[in-house]
Structure 1
Amino acid sequence: MSNLQISRLANRHFSYLTDPVTEKVNPKTLKYLRKNIVGMIASKIGEVIVYGTDNLLLSSFLGLAAVGQYSNYTLIVNGVGSVINQGFSAVTASIGNLRVSGSQERQNEVFFQYSQLVSYVSFFISIAMALFFLSFIQFWVGKRFILSPTLSFLIVFNFFVSSLRYSNLNFMSAYGTYWEMRYKSILEALVNFVISIVLIKYTTWGISAVVIGTLLANLTINAWWEPLIVFSIGINS
């Protein structure tokens, strides 16, 4: 219903949109669109693998009880992350407009200001989670579902590192660099899977092994690849 209303208003205010179109999209634009669509699909596949393999590994090696304990924490972390992302991604359209209308110096300035804001918000929310995680889990599902303080810290730290990526991700989304990201998410998923399965098989770290696998994939792949795309393909292109 919302989309129908938006379509009706668009047709009323911009009536030329309903005029018959005879021109064809030029081949260069079509090629650009196809490449970005392929890049986006590859990126999403890698993203699904990254977030989907953790529970599979836990259930395979540690049992469903471990999955249930870990899921209580990830439910909260993913919920908080989703809310934060909604706020940060609201400026994506403005970033896209900045690329067209702003100078390279202005884009650099906005990127670093935006990254600083993301860092502050992520830091304070992570501190709050670290302080109240155990108490909330105990109040919500009971004391027997509480994980160790070390594991809770790892989960919060992984959330913090992942949250710092929002500035890079939103700039890449605004700049349309999906083609350049096509291998990044798949490599991230591969690194995450290999490290997680090695740690969970050859150590006694349990759930921590899976969290460390995700954390190391973030630090070894995303921490340098995403900023590289933002500056080499986006701002400085």
Structure 2
Amino acid sequence: MKISRTKNASRNIVFGTLLRLYQTICPFVIRTVMIYTLGMEYLGLNSLFTSILQVLNLTELGVGSAMTFSMYKPIVEDDTERICALMRLYKIYYRVIGTVILFLGLVIMPFLPDLISGEVPANINVYVLYILNLFATVFSYWLFAYKNCLVVAHQRTDIQSKVNLFIGTFQYILQAAILFVFRNYYLYLCIALLSQSMINIVTAIITNKLYPKYQAVGKLDKKSVMDINQKVRDLFTAKIGGVVVNSADSIVISAFLGLVVLAQYNNYYYILSAIMGFVSIIFNSCTAGIGNSIITETSDKNYHDFQIFTFIVNWLAGVCVCCFLVLYQPFMTIWVGQENTLSFSIVICFCVYFYVYELNCLYNLYKDSAGIWHEDRFRPLVTALTNLTLNLITVQFWGLYGVILSTVISMVCVGTPWCIYNVFCTVFKRSMKDYLPSLFKHISITAVVALITYTVCNFLPDGGFIFLFLKAIVCAVISNILYLLIYYRNTEFKETVQLVKRMIGRLN
């Protein structure tokens, strides 16, 4: 089957951006309503439950990534029989995973009080709240989750975006009404559970109409099943790494510093993760296309594309870092009040974390697209253990600052260099010595651009949304102009311009 990588990536980016914008603004409104109707402790609880369930999702073991990767070649070859057999295996795996998550979730329940420092909000039952969150996760696996692999492997994530936009509208309206009228967190979570179920059901219906010839029937040969299981085992360490880095911070903060500090931390992280979500649209939209390219194109062509992506990610992440440095504190003061803001040193840590995270997303994009999980299996585990160890030590001396700094150190000193090495040795079959000088140049330029932008914007006054909006415009303009002046003669810049033109042309 011939797939237009540029066309599908363009379409996925457009609809993914609309969905991300929608899913950033609406939850932000809901989060604000919750702060002023229920209180910061509820936000802390919500974050804690999310982190616990992310740990439980380790049982997924990377099945989704392994199955999607296994479909790339059959789709190119139009091997319907094999695709159907893969879907059946995927269906079995996800039914088992949902059951295991339910069992482990129930086992953890008695230990919930040990993960909360201080008091919980009055007149609530943390066990009931936890059960509602748990079943929302379990249903996401039980209800037709295996259908998602088809749209992802066919580079049609725009379908998922449309379904989420439609059902999300009803979810947010109902949740806002419940918070305003009833101030009932139990009903709030029930709506979330129902919405997740409807998203899976509607996606399955649409997938059946688009790809009627693909049904969960047939059986793979023993060797194919063993190969997939090997990929799943290799992905397990990557899953552990991601969960520990993303979830351990919240659990450690809750256990040592309390729900209010956790809520303050997550207010900052919510803004950070919202922007991460927008940038991730590019990565998610290109994953299947890069997987296809790795199969069909030469190593030199793939390395050339990788250099272009490095340039694009550096520019996007750099502009975001400039905006974070300038806008974080004034925005948080307006949103949640001066008493709920964190120190500027923590803001700097968040900025470094964001920049390194986005570069890591690029390296992991190529790693996942090429399916080199076996070669990369130890790196995420070592990075995660480093992060967790540093978390438990530094939180006792430096509090919240120590937790965030630990995450940055583990990524910069362990995870990132190791991942670059694995990608170059396995995907591009070349030394990374030619790439590193270019990477360090990008990093240095970003640091200079951020410093200049922050210094200039510091002369602008604070106070209210008008001045915040003014700062945002000035910050975005200055940082982009600086990048343009530095890079406009660069070959990668010229090729990026041509790429953007082609993508826009494909949408017409």
Instruction: Give TM-score scaled by structure 1 length.
Output: 0.88
Residue 46 (structure 1) shift: 2.5
- Give the root-mean-square deviation of aligned CA atoms: 2.1
Indicate yes or no: 2:410 matched with 1:217: yes
Task: Tell me which residue corresponds to 2:352.
Answer: 157
| Map of 1:107 onto structure 2 | 302
SS in 1 for 2:377: helix
Counterpart CA distance in 2 for 1:70 and 1:136 is 14
Is this contact kept in 2: 1:115–1:164, CA < 8 A?
yes
SS at match of 2:211: helix
Identity of aligned residues (%): 21
Structure 1 residue 226 and structure 2 residue 419: aligned? yes
Unaligned stretches of 5+ residues in structure 2: 1-201, 431-508
Q: 2:260 corresponds to which residue?
A: 65
Counterpart code for 1:231:
F
Q: CA deviation at 1:55?
A: 2.0
What CA distance in whole angstroms lies between the structure 2 residues aligned with 1:134 and 1:165?
26
Contact 1:99 1:235 in 2 (8 A): no
- The code of the aligned residue for 1:9 comes to L
Matching of residues 95-174 of structure 1 within 5 Å: 95-174=290-369
Equivalent of residue 399 in structure 2, options 206, 219, 222: 206
Regions of 4+ moved over 6 Å: none
Letter in 2 for 1:216: I
Conserved? CA contact 1:199–1:209, under 8 Å: yes
Q: Cα distance, 1:210 vs. partner?
A: 0.5
Higher mean alpha-carbon deviation, 189-198 vs 175-184, is at 175-184
In structure 1, list runs of 5 or more residues that go unmatched: none
- CA separation in 1, counterparts of 2:312 and 2:357? 15
Checking the alignment, whether the CA contact within 8 Å between 2:387 and 2:407 is kept in structure 1 is yes
SS of residue matched to 1:179 = coil
Q: Number of residues paired by the alignment?
A: 229
Asked if 1:25 corresponds to 2:221, the answer is yes
User: SS in structure 2 opposite 1:180?
Assistant: coil
Answer whether contact 1:45 1:186 (CA < 8 A) is retained. yes
How many angstroms does 1:220 deviate by? 1.7
Q: 1:164 is paired with a residue of what secondary structure? A: helix
Give 1:7's aligned amino acid. N
Residue identity opposite 2:266 in structure 1? S
Rounded Cα–Cα distance in structure 2 between residues aligned with 1:82 and 1:180 = 27
Task: Give the Å deviation of 1:109.
Answer: 0.5
Larger radius of gyration: 2
Alignment partners' CA distance in 1, 2:294 and 2:421: 17
C-alpha separation in 2, matches of 1:146 and 1:9:
48
